[in-house]
Amino acid sequence: MNAFTHMIFCNVADVSFGKEAFVFSLPYYLEGISFYFPVSIITTLCLLFMIASRRQYRSLFSIGIVSFLTLLSFLVFIPLSFDLTNSFKGKLTKNNNEKQVRLEADFFNKNNDGVYMLTKIEGLYTAYGLKEVNPENDNMIFEPFLHQSNNNSQDKNLFITDSVKMPQFLQVIIDATKSLLVYAKNLYNESYVSYLGFASLALGMFGLWGCACLSSWPLLSALFIFFGYTCVFSSYFVITQTSIIQPVLETLTELIGTVATKPFFAPVVVNVVIMLFMSVCGLIAYLLRRKKFAGEDL
Amino acid sequence: MKSMKTMSMGIAVYFVVYFLLAFAAVLIYSFLQPVPPEIIPSLVTNYKFNTAFFNFFVIFSGLQIASILVSYSWMFSKGFDGDVKIRHKTKMFAYLRNVLVVVVVCLMLSIVSNELIRPLLLNRQVSIIHASKDFNEFVDKSKEFLESGDLLEAEIYAKQANRIDPTAVNVHKLLSDIEMELSKTEANLDKIISVDDFKGVEFNIPVNELMDRARTAYQQESYFEAHYYGSLAIHAYEELNANDSEARIITADSWNKLQVADSSLGGLSESVYARKKAGYAAILSGNYLKAYYIFKGLLNENGTDPDVKRYLAIAEEKILNQYFFIDETYNLQPFESVRDIYFSIKRDDGGLIVVGIKGMSEIKEGANQIQYLRGVQIATYDSRRTLEENFFVPYAKMVTVNATDVEPQYAKIVEKSNKKLLPCLILNSVDRNSPNYTVKPTYYSSISLQDEAKSAFLLPIPFEDFLQITEAAQGADSMPLDSLAIFCSKAEKYGFKQEFFLQALCERLCQPFLFVIIALACAILAWKFRLNKKQLVHFWWLLLVPLFSVVSYFFLEIANYCMTMLTFALVYLVGYATFPIVIVSCLLIFVLFCFIFVSMKDD
């Protein structure tokens, strides 16, 4: 379903470039699968934690199942999805440049320079029309112009992009997720040991059990799990995609040697710390509740 | 079912308290946010309050969804405490009924918020920003004109700025500076007498009445009036094919008397009489603008002559079909209802008319609405798409013309329209007092000089369509739903892609269904994650409740975005069939969710 959404998104983007679209596009669908498969696995794990947390700490069985699935996902499923993507590679490179850009007359369009209308089309890529001048100009709104483009034109129709504009926060999330997945895939292609740095996220996710114990109201526990999940991935993004912890790593290198410079070192340490922190918080909250309500499981 | 009433009451109290607290939070947030630098100080508070209300209604649906989720997760645990004998299925149906009532109320509030309140607040926000920009522009222009010595222009701009912000100290100082400069040159200014006190222009006078007036005027030796009414009577007789001999005699006699430049007629000096006669001749020959300035000059010199007042009023009435006064457009820019309008019209001969308008103000004149258009550019193309004419005019006045009064081909354009009116742009404007200052279109290209001399441009579209285009110029999202629905089928005629409007329509019509589905899903989640029966609500939980609203808001945004994408794709694929497809899908999901809800176990 995610891959299908991705295909629609790519087709809308094509339309904004003036290309034909909205036929089933296998390259876009495969691209969607390669991107959304790991995302879907990880999101499903978060939902599983929430569902299991409804019974909270009462069911050790559910803890076991979800933990096992988490480990399995990070150690087997996600690497398998990377292998699958590598096999798609040939098909993905066959991109949609075959689609023809079509110039259309008598319709208003908008690009970064403003509104324009093509009034006469000559050939595939040349047209005459009117385009908006600088709004400060007090003596004119439009002036005649010659429009020239090609099939790789990056001249988007802003009327389309504005009407299907992605919310900014979603764009940020998707960009961050993409960069994380590319990073993880590169680690996996390098070696499985390097990939274990990414797989250490599973440790961070075990800490979500602590979040589940923070409150006796299941809905609030689910919210804590959601924020815990966000926290685990945000910290991984910060330590792998930014240079914020670089000074700390340099200090650690001086203290414990070159192991601190290994790509898996920082993620493993941070995820273990997150797991311990969340677990301790959850345990304290649980014990306090038990004490307050004289052993009743509230 | 006492428990249900208690539950509904609890939900209502939760909603009211939570919404009040949320509004207070949004108000504080909006007041702490920086204001755009162009907003003038007197409008800052207005802007902040408007922003606060707008922000509140932006997150309104998110607040509702979060409220359903949280309040039901508390209330479901208390629902049927005393009624242990009721079957679980019956309980779930009662809960579902309660949830659906709350969801429908929330939906209605959400529709009012999205379709009525938010567009209003957005328009207000845009007006405040425009007013501030205009204020700064007017102050700058006024200063420029004051420095260059053009005091009248400086005064006009300063007064416009003063109208926007009557408390602005810098504008008061500017006005007093202008006044001081004006007082030095006041002696050079002519005294201007208004013609407003004379409103005696009458039309469609019966022919008998015309003859009576002509006879009476002739007997009273008022030969201008006798000739004027006599001429009108002859014209009327010609249309009726009736005997006009008496009218012709009175008219000819009056004209002969007028040829004698005798100061005994009306007691005027010879030169004034000659000017009066020249003005009258200009009216007869149809040169109303010339007549207007002659009588205006005479009125300024001698404001008591009833002939001068009458013919000035007649000339003014006539020229208003070809011109408008420049001063009619003063003070309009800050009150423009729409800006940046552009559209094209496909002519029947395959040609194209492209129209651009910088801004439009609507003024009520009696029962009619008059549109003044700022910065109008019109480019016309022939069927081979060669540019015919391309002109720009700083201001144009729009009047409506009945299709029966113009060429027959226009009747076809308005055959489906109720009012049969066409919009006509009066392109030339003149100064009320001086013949030396006129504003005409600037031609960048034209077919002939004769073409450039035209004073009006008739747009070959029904007037209702023009009004819809002005609404569309503000964006499909802010168009009233009914206009949007009608405009979808017309969009391509006016240079817009139908898909944009159809997608916006489908999205707006499907949003309520999406809201109901999400609300119902939240009720299911609320049941699944409900509070333990023995558990009391902790105070510290209340502090974390706003986090649910944040998550709900972002979740709704994602759902709406997916809906936008889906409707966009469907509109491109199946066009108008998008709406039934989405509605049926939504209804199926709704039924499925209802089924899931009543099937949930009391675990």
Distance between CA atoms of residues A111 and A105, nearest Å: 15
Q: Which pLDDT score, from 0 to 100, does residue A20 have?
A: 58
User: Tell me: the pLDDT tens digits for B35-83?
Assistant: 888 888 888 999 999 999 999 999 999 999 999 999 888 888 776 655 5
Q: Is the pTM above the cut of 0.90?
A: no
Confidence category of residue B194, pLDDT binned at 50, 70, 90: very low
pLDDT for B561 beyond 80? yes
The token duo for B517 is 């589905």
Of the listed ranges A23-27, B119-123, B269-273, B471-475, the least confidently predicted one is: A23-27
Helix (H, G, I), strand (E, B) or coil at B204: coil
User: Tell me: the pLDDT tens digits for B162-178?
Assistant: 888 888 888 888 888 88
User: Tell me: the pLDDT tens digits for B134-192?
Assistant: 888 888 888 888 888 878 778 888 888 888 888 888 888 888 888 888 777 654 444 44
The token duo for B159 is 């007064």
pLDDT for B195 beyond 50? no
Distance between CA atoms of residues B576 and B569, nearest Å: 12
pLDDT for B199 beyond 50? no
Confidence category of residue B84, pLDDT binned at 50, 70, 90: low
Give the residue from B391, B401, B409 showing the smallest Cα distance to B321.
B401
Of B392, B497, B534, nearest to A141 by CB-CB distance is B392
* Angle (nearest 5°) at CA B467 between A157 and B332: 95
Chain center to CA of A239: 17
Can you list the alpha helix ranges (DSSP code H) found in B113-150? 118-148
> What average pLDDT score do residues B179-208 get?
58
Q: At what angle do helices B223-240 and B306-319 cross, to 10 degrees?
A: 40
- Closest-CA distance of chain A to residue B583, Å: 19
Distance between CA atoms of residues B220 and A20, nearest Å: 82
B452 or B478, which is more confident? Answer: B478
Helix (H, G, I), strand (E, B) or coil at B201: coil
User: Tell me: the pLDDT tens digits for B85-111?
Assistant: 667 778 888 889 989 999 999 999 999
- Under an 8 A CB cutoff, do A163 and B573 touch? no
DSSP state of B576: G
Q: Closest chain A residue to B561 measured between Cα atoms?
A: A166
Is the separation of the CB atoms in A279 and A208 below 8 Å?
no
Give the residue from B58, B74, B57 showing the smallest Cα distance to B14.
B74
* Contact residues on chain B for A169, CB-CB shorter than 8 A: 554, 557
Q: Which pLDDT score, from 0 to 100, does residue B428 have?
A: 85
Any chain B CB within 8 A of the CB of A262?
no
Confidence category of residue A104, pLDDT binned at 50, 70, 90: confident
> What average pLDDT score do residues A65-83 get?
87
Distance between CA atoms of residues B237 and B210, nearest Å: 11
* Ramachandran assignment for B325, one of left (phi > 0), alpha (psi -120 to 50 degrees), beta (any other): beta
For B213, what's the count of Cα atoms within 13 Å in the CB-facing half-sphere? 16
- Residue that the structure tokens 């096999």 belong to: A87
Distance between CA atoms of residues B379 and B340, nearest Å: 16
pLDDT for B504 beyond 50? yes
Q: Name every residue whose Cβ is closer than 8 Å to that of residue B89 and which is 6 or more positions away in sequence.
A: B598
H or E element that contains B400 = strand B387-402
Is the separation of the CB atoms in B36 and B129 below 8 Å?
yes
Residue A8 burial (10 A CB sphere; 0-12, 13-18, 19+): buried
Q: Which pLDDT score, from 0 to 100, does residue B589 have?
A: 94
Q: Closest chain A residue to B572 measured between Cα atoms?
A: A22
Any chain B CB within 8 A of the CB of A47?
no
**Segments of B481-594 assigned E as strands:** none
* Contact residues on chain A for B561, CB-CB shorter than 8 A: 166-167, 170
* Contact residues on chain B for A15, CB-CB shorter than 8 A: 572
Distance between CA atoms of residues B518 and B524, nearest Å: 10
User: Tell me: the pLDDT tens digits for B357-380?
Assistant: 999 988 776 666 788 999 999 999
Is the separation of the CB atoms in B522 and B597 below 8 Å?
no
